Amino acid sequence: MNQDTRSSVCRIALAGNPNAGKTTLFNALTGAHHKVGNYPGVTVEKREGSVNRNGKSFYFIDLPGIYSLTAYSVDEMVARDYLLDEKPDVIVDVLDSTNIERNLYLCLQFQELGIPLIGVLNMIDEAEEKNISIDEKSLSRALGIPLVKTVGSKGEGIDQLFTNIGQAAKDKDFSAKYIRYRDEVELKLLSLQQMIESDEAFVKKYPVRWLAVKLLEKDTNAYDTLKSHKKAAEIGYAAQEAITSIESFYGKDAEIIITEQRYEYIAGAVKKLVKTAEKTKLSATEVIDKVVMNRFLSFPVFLFVLWAVFQLTFSLGAFPAAWLENLFGFLGNAASSVLPEGILRSLLVDGIIGGVGGVFSFVPNIVILFFLLSILEDVGYMSRAVFASDNLLRLFGLHGQSIFPMMLGFGCSVPAIMAARTLKSKRDRIITILITPFMSCSAKLPVHVLLASAFFPENAANMVMLIYAVGIVLSLFCAFILKKTVLRGEPSSFIMELPPYRAPTLKGALWHMWEKTWQYVKKAGTVILVSSVLIWVITYFPVHEAGSGEIDDLRTSLAAEYPNEGAEAIDARLDTALHQAGLVNSFAGRMGKFIEPVFKPLGFNWKIVIATITGFAAKEVVVSTLGILYKTGSEENEESESLREALAHDPEMNPLTGFILMLFILIIPPCFAALSAIKAEIGWKWLGFEVAFLLTFGWVLCFLVYRIGSLAGFA
């Protein structure tokens, strides 16, 4: 945003604890006028939204959910740096009204930044259901900031919030009110503040009160920030003396002292102004959690939920997927009937419609999967899934919070890899990132669905769930290996809050579903379109011109092989044979034949080899590649074999090789976008390690499974 724009727009930072309903409130404030990107220099996702209201332009930035401005994780660093460097006009702190005491801890830290602050008592309806009464006017006076009651999911309180934001942004004489600590601490803070204020240029860049507090909290970033002060050494020495004095007086660590005094202040305010009626019965959340969080039932429930998600995805998606497949088949036939035979028709029918259409036919499955995962997230089950798997993860050297990136990996590896930044330990982050590609992302889903439907038509959904489960098992196995070898150590401690169960909003679930599906569709319309055209080029050229003698010989050979078929059927087989000869002679065929010996021990023919290689660009491209390579004839009609049938009837393929291909696609390195994210997060060294490890591990495991399966008679 340029300087002229910044001066005419009210810039609001939306901040708060995780699970406070911040994203729901953000959607209510901005409607559909927001976009998703990354913070400059990092890959943490950010949401930006702009809206015009009452003749005023508002620009919202949705900061990552955090618990403190003392930054340990990357999310916390992003939130802190944005507030310090960008200095928004207003901070809107979203508070969970059902847990106001814990949420106010971050609010007190925001006040020390000296930026106009508004507190939002969100989910006030849930608080009232729990008989929690908040005197927001008195609490507002006690804190010195305006408080607004809202229900983000229903849009309640939004008008009042916009009014308060406008008033706060106009307050040119804003004077921040902040907590006063006990005298022993406050005297040291005032002394440090006076020293910091001696450098006017420095004071214009950094909030004095915030920096003084952070120096006493031994925040390493605060000491780095202090280096640009003209009296840095003197202030640093004074801060160390103050810390020694305070710790001597209280007999505790300085950071603990400040934390305790903040909570004492909060407890005093909450005790007077927040009333909770005595509980007479268990809440719905407590009743459900007696089953869902039971130590013996939690993991089986988790597996059942995953199984149900996949069963619904396939059963509900079967019909629209078939409709789309028929639609693209109709488009291909229509184009074939209109265009004369030649390069243009082949490009349009085989390259574009056949390639991209093959991927688009799986959009219904993607839509349903994202919708169901959005429902689980909004309901509050995702956090339970973390706890259900925490004990298991720790056996394999993973942090409990690693389950978040792993589950996000079912959608897309890129945000899943980025999500590992919330882990505070570098070792935990690296292990989590390295194993995340084992999760079957939405790009792999079309490949799994295609192969499962072709080779296991009676149990397609169960086979896809099996390959998902295999991915989870392999991720745990590799985490254990990494823990015992190159990344030795114990996972850091894990503390997490369980939000109450909430009824999902249809609008929110549909929005999340649309956001993720649109990313998939854009990918199909760009990366996959370009890839499909390139694949068509290498499979079409050089053009194989069969001579009349070769054609006559082939027809005679086919007539002898199929004596009971008529001339029309023989001509159809002739077209297929000529098409196959052209493929073998093409650039793709030559390359596939050259590489085929490496993959022959896995049961793959050269077509599968080519499809696998193209999957490095995007895993969906595997489907479009197979669609081009397995074209059954130049003239397709409603009786032509679908891609599933073409694969199933390939004499070189069988259920075992189909499963091996699913396994290989699961394990090999992810798409280029995910590899770029890995490089950005943990560097070139670990990226190289990941690629080499996945290729080697994938080949060896598939070889073993293929050999064992062949010996057992499955080939």
AA letter at 218: K
Q: Is the per-residue pLDDT at 664 higher than 80?
A: yes
CB of 606 closer than 8 Å to CB of 593:
yes
AA letter at 649: H
Highest mean pLDDT among 213-227, 497-511, 527-541: 213-227
Look at residues 232, 228, 234, 188 and name the one whose alpha carbon lies nearest to residue 212. Answer: 188
- Pull the structure tokens for residue 175: 């004077």
Phi, psi of 444 (to 5 degrees): -80, -20
The whole-number pLDDT of residue 528 equals: 67
Q: Which residue has the tokens 């999340």?
A: 512
- The hierarchical CATH code for the domain 183-276 is 1.10.287.1770
Calpha distance 617→625 (Å, rounded): 12
Calpha distance 227→210 (Å, rounded): 16
In the chain, residues under CATH classification 1.10.287.1770 are: 183-276
The whole-number pLDDT of residue 4 equals: 47
Q: Is the per-residue pLDDT at 490 higher than 70?
A: no
Phi, psi of 236 (to 5 degrees): -60, -40
CA quadruple 679, 70, 137, 172: dihedral positive or negative? negative
The whole-number pLDDT of residue 129 equals: 84
21-25, Cβ contacts within 8 angstroms, sequence gap of 24 or more: 21/94, 21/96, 21/122, 21/123, 21/152, 21/153, 22/62, 22/65, 22/94, 22/122, 23/47, 23/62, 24/152, 24/153, 24/505, 24/508, 25/94, 25/120, 25/122, 25/150, 25/152
pLDDT tens digit sequence for 81-97: 899 999 999 999 999 99
Calpha distance 320→623 (Å, rounded): 18
In the chain, residues under CATH classification 3.40.50.300 are: 6-170
Band of residue 41 on the pLDDT scale cut at 50, 70, 90? very low
Which range, of 19-28, 64-73, 299-308, 385-394, averages the lowest pLDDT? Answer: 385-394
6-170 maps to CATH 3.40.50.300:
yes
Helix (H) or strand (E) holding 220: helix 220-226
What average pLDDT does this structure show over 153-172?
88
The pLDDT mean for the chain works out to 83
Q: Tell me, yes or no, if the pTM score tops 0.75.
A: no
Highest mean pLDDT among 48-57, 646-655, 689-698: 689-698
Determine the Cα angle at 202 with ends 227 and 223, to 5°: 30
- Torsion on CA atoms 443, 687, 699, 671, rounded to nearest 10: 20
Quick one: DSSP state of residue 252?
S
> Percent of the chain having pLDDT more than 70?
89
| Omega of the bond leading into 542 within 30 degrees of 0 (cis) | yes
Calpha distance 130→45 (Å, rounded): 33
Band of residue 304 on the pLDDT scale cut at 50, 70, 90? confident
DSSP codes joined into one string, 523-582: HHHTHHHHHHHHHHHHHH-S-----HHHHHHHHHHHHHH-TTS-HHHHHHHHHHHHHHHH
Look at residues 148, 149, 144 and name the one whose alpha carbon lies nearest to residue 180. Answer: 144
Beta-carbon contacts of 660 under 8 Å, excluding residues fewer than 6 positions away, are 602, 603, 604, 702, 705, 706, 709
Q: Is the per-residue pLDDT at 113 higher than 80?
A: yes
- Pull the structure tokens for residue 266: 């909060």
Calpha distance 495→387 (Å, rounded): 10
Three-class SS of residue 492? Answer: coil
Q: For the packed helices 232-250 and 254-273, what is the interaxial angle rounded to 10 degrees? A: 70
Calpha distance 324→505 (Å, rounded): 29
AA letter at 584: V
Question: Strands 56-62 and 10-16: what pairing?
Answer: parallel
The whole-number pLDDT of residue 451 equals: 92
- Pull the structure tokens for residue 416: 């899943």
Q: Is the per-residue pLDDT at 638 higher than 50?
A: no
The whole-number pLDDT of residue 316 equals: 85
Burial 672-698 (b: 16+ CB within 10 A, else e): ebbbebbeebbeeebbebbbebbeebb
